[in-house]
Structure 1
Amino acid sequence: MPDPVHPAMQKIPIGIDAIGMRRETDSMGAVDVPANRYWGAQTQRSLAHFAIGDDLMPKALHHAYGYVKKAAALVNGASGHLAHWKAKAICRAADEAIAGKLDDHFPLYVWQSGSGTQTNMNLNEVLSNRAIQLLGGEIGSKMPVHPNDDVNMGQSSNDTFPTAMHIAAILELENRLLPRAEALADAIEAKAEEWIDVVKIGRTHLQDAVPLTVGQEWSGYARQIRDALAGVRRAEGALFELAVGGAAVGTGLNAPPNFGADMAAKIAELTERPFVTAPNKFAAQASLDAMVCAMASLRGLAVALMKIANDMRWLASGPRCGLGELILPENEPGSSIMPGKINPTQSEAMVMVCIQVIGEDTATAFAGSQGNFELNTTRPIVINNFLHSARILGDASEKMRVYQIEGAVLNHAAIKAFLARSLMLATALTPLLGYDKAAIIVHKAASENLSLKEAALASGFISEKLYDETVDPQKMVGPVGALSV
């Protein structure tokens, strides 16, 4: 049956040319809201009740929520539950939300209802009023597009907020963190290949150890990052399962038949990502297990990156009174009082980012444990922590690659000097002389300030010819062919 009314959607720019306040209503009564904003009564109440700190809900979540609302309008329109002209207007408004064009109208704080109800209603009110404006109606009238009856049709905050969380998390991983961290691993691997034949002294317990090559050392860094990223990708799998369709408690009450599957399919189409409906909506809404696991994978990446960043700081320490094996790019002055001082600032920034991520993971894990019965009500802090962690890890990875790794060079003189002075080359003598005699040589060299060769020859345990054949650092590093990273 054709729609009884077909309002023409107008080409109205985003924004409301009004001053002062306007009156909006919700189930609790009337509220005055700023006349130049699209939000309504429930958003305004939240601004008063939850003005805690200055932590605002991430814009990425609002953009992801736009996909949820657009998918719902399309699914409800296709099924005949929503007039096509309404669906079209809601989709237009949702597209603007997805593109970030309505960001100024999403003002809510992280510290709100643990289900994210205020944020869901913020979306509903903004998209409703924007759709009303596009249809030539009166903003705030809820006519002809109602925030609950139309924009929120077939939905609940309890199933749409976790759905938007998963969409936002996937998009942040795929669009920012993963490509930037992979590019960092690529840059480190390129350095490993460049320096594969440069023999240096190894270090364990921060003490001298047997030799390896710089390339071998750096191949370990690249592999650490790749292993951590593999963990992130494994954790992604559960994020592709969406709670939408479960409604308030997972039963799907008030949602049309097949709504969850239809919504997941439409969201997959809109985002070009393999989203599917969660097989058990009760688990999807009562728990935060998928987000907890995904956040733990970010912690795993942070642990790897912190180790690498700290190694870079040690290797670049000096330049004259430290190890000084690595020369980092000189990006900015390092001191307000010491002229010429240059610090490993990219590594320092990365260390701080990793500390922050580990802390946010701890908070997320605790939040995940706080589900009660049919709903976990700590969702806002979890998505805020996850998106923040993914964002700063991605940004720090890019900055470290561009401003530290790609411009790093080796101090070959320092590397050769350390290698020549190391007493741990005596390890090569152990198969020939035995551990005890090799130890005698090391202790003699250390106590008498001799080179290892001088101490070995003075011991009478070995000839110079045999020593030179045996103690060859190049032979001690093993095969240096293709690196496995």
Structure 2
Amino acid sequence: MTSFRQEHDAFGPVDIPADRYWGAQTARAAAIFTVGDERFPTVLIQAFGLQKRAAARANRRLGVLDPALADAIEDAAEEVRTGLFDDHFPLTVWQTGSGTQTNMNANEVIANRANERLGQPLGTRAPVHPNDHVNRSQSSNDSFPTVMHLVTALELRDRMRPALLRLGDALHAKAEAFAGVVKIGRTHLMDAVPMSVGQSFDAYARQIEAGLARLDGAMPRLCALPQGGTAVGTGLNAPKGFAAAFCEEAAAIAGLALTPNPSKFEGMGAHDALVEVSGHLNTLAVSLVRIANDIRLLGSGPRAGLGELIIPDDGLTSSIMPGKRNPTIAEVVVQTAFQAMGNHATVTAAGAAGTFELNVAKPVLIHNLLRAIRLLSDAARLFADRMIEGLEVDRDRLAANVEGSLLLATALNPAIGYDRAAAVTRKAMAEGTTPREAAIALGYLTGEDYDGLVRPAEMVSNEEGADWQPPPLRG
């Protein structure tokens, strides 16, 4: 049976499981907020460890926290940052809109662990007090949004950026590998003029590169922190210089270029920087849907579809059709992108929830933003590793499609004019022949003349007439 200890706060005694490091406020919140089971990802909890550690350093540096207590808090906070206490944060996302309960959860875990390190039993609240010491110079109102910024910046740097670089590189490698493979381009889902398979993949690589550049461009605003604003943005109860000292200490721990937000009121009442990041993730999701759908359509078949791409075998098959292979990875990518688009809708609404000096939808905002980052990062890496890396082209199918394409007649426009070229296309379509055969039958050109004018491999060259090669990515 579970044993309990009794803790006291300003509102009286509370029973808490004896082996848990949270305190009275967390226990009260867990009993009140009984909605859903969605919890913050552990990266947010660990970012709280970073935030509390930096705050303890800044408080000690400014002389408002006893060095011995600061050391104990810093050590305990570092343990939270490294994930040692992930299981001691029981609250769901659905709590006060300022995130007060999760901030207090962090204060209590760190205070209890600091006291334990100083030889005291859990629940003593002395010599380290969760409010007086761990939360010194802070409020939930500036601490929680600071953590929101920190965790988002870290996740973009450490999770999303490497995944997008991997996907961009994989797409670029295919652009180079398929640069000389001619295919028929398609507009309105219908045959158009020739291009190379490599040019298609270069377009995909550019979309990912642009998505990464957008996210990189948002980082300076993401790294401007509201810490130091305390309750409403004025900095009440924080010593002079706390915001700058905090950012310097947090930057040293996180390896980020962190700066104080010059308007703590903006940083606490509005979360436009986070909405901006979510918007860029939404754009990235749109790009991924386009790329994944193109690839699964170009690989459709293998015998009754387009069949121009050969999709790597993932070892999975149908429950009823033996040996059937499906573009499962692309379907996963599309579904995660749809979820990220929905996450952005929630982030947008939550970002608009700022009233006067406080946005009161912080938990749901960061929950959805972090979920989108995780899903899109994982999907991008899976896409690169399990599909793009192994893609091949069916050269015979592509060559046959090019040879029979009606729109090769477009190259005849300068020689015989648009109307005669259109007549060639109509005749070839009506009679099921090639444009070459139709042009000869109509008496517009000899076979030799046609072959001299219609050279599919040259039709994919750039404007200078040189053989096309994908330019390097800038990422």
Alignment TM class, shorter chain as reference:
over 0.9
Secondary structure of the residue aligned to 2:8 is: strand
Aligned pairs for 1:350-369 (under 5 A) are 350-369=333-352
2:237 matches 1:254: yes
Deviation at residue 51 of structure 1 after TM alignment = 2.1
Matching residue of 2:443 = 460
Matching residue of 2:276 = 293
2:120 matches 1:133: no
2:136 matches 1:149: no
How many residues were matched structurally? 468
Secondary structure of the residue aligned to 1:211 is: strand
Match for 1:241 among 224, 227, 233? 224
Match for 1:47 among 6, 13, 30? 30
Provide the C-alpha distance between the structure 2 equivalents of 1:26 and 1:389, rounded to a whole number of angstroms: 38
Matching residue of 2:83 = 100
Deviation at residue 27 of structure 1 after TM alignment = 2.5
Deviation at residue 111 of structure 1 after TM alignment = 0.8
Aligned pairs for 1:12-411 (under 5 A) are 19-411=2-394
Q: 475-484 or 358-367: which moved more?
A: 475-484
Provide the C-alpha distance between the structure 1 equivalents of 2:469 and 2:451, rounded to a whole number of angstroms: 28
Secondary structure of the residue aligned to 2:5 is: strand
Matching residue of 2:470 = 483
Provide the C-alpha distance between the structure 2 equivalents of 1:253 and 1:68, rounded to a whole number of angstroms: 19
Deviation at residue 80 of structure 1 after TM alignment = 2.1
Provide the C-alpha distance between the structure 2 equivalents of 1:371 and 1:76, rounded to a whole number of angstroms: 29
Q: 22-31 or 122-131: which moved more?
A: 22-31
Quick check: 2:62–2:242 contact (8 Å CA) kept in 1?
no
Letter in 2 for 1:428: A
Deviation at residue 124 of structure 1 after TM alignment = 0.2
Provide the C-alpha distance between the structure 2 equivalents of 1:396 and 1:273, rounded to a whole number of angstroms: 25
Secondary structure of the residue aligned to 2:440 is: helix
Root mean square deviation of aligned Cα: 1.1
1:311-332 per-residue CA deviation (whole Å, 9 max, x = no partner) reads: 1111110000001111111112
Q: 245-254 or 379-388: which moved more?
A: 379-388
Deviation at residue 19 of structure 1 after TM alignment = 4.3
Q: Which TM-score applies when normalising by structure 2?
A: 0.97
Matching residue of 1:7 = none
Deviation at residue 53 of structure 1 after TM alignment = 1.3
Q: 73-82 or 347-356: which moved more?
A: 73-82
Letter in 2 for 1:393: L
Deviation at residue 52 of structure 1 after TM alignment = 1.3
Matching residue of 2:416 = 433
Letter in 1 for 2:406: L
Provide the C-alpha distance between the structure 2 equivalents of 1:446 and 1:106, rounded to a whole number of angstroms: 68
Deviation at residue 413 of structure 1 after TM alignment = 0.9
Provide the C-alpha distance between the structure 2 equivalents of 1:364 and 1:388, rounded to a whole number of angstroms: 11
Deviation at residue 385 of structure 1 after TM alignment = 0.9
Q: Runs of at least 4 residues of structure 1 off by over 4 A? A: none
Secondary structure of the residue aligned to 2:358 is: coil
Provide the C-alpha distance between the structure 2 equivalents of 1:130 and 1:329, rounded to a whole number of angstroms: 51
Q: Which TM-score applies when normalising by structure 1?
A: 0.95
Provide the C-alpha distance between the structure 1 equivalents of 2:348 and 2:169, rounded to a whole number of angstroms: 31
Quick check: 2:460–2:468 contact (8 Å CA) kept in 1?
no
Identical positions, percent:
48
Letter in 1 for 2:134: V
Secondary structure of the residue aligned to 2:19 is: coil
1:296-323 per-residue CA deviation (whole Å, 9 max, x = no partner) reads: 1111111111110001111110000001
Secondary structure of the residue aligned to 1:417 is: helix
Provide the C-alpha distance between the structure 1 equivalents of 2:292 and 2:13, rounded to a whole number of angstroms: 55
Letter in 2 for 1:332: G
Letter in 1 for 2:18: A
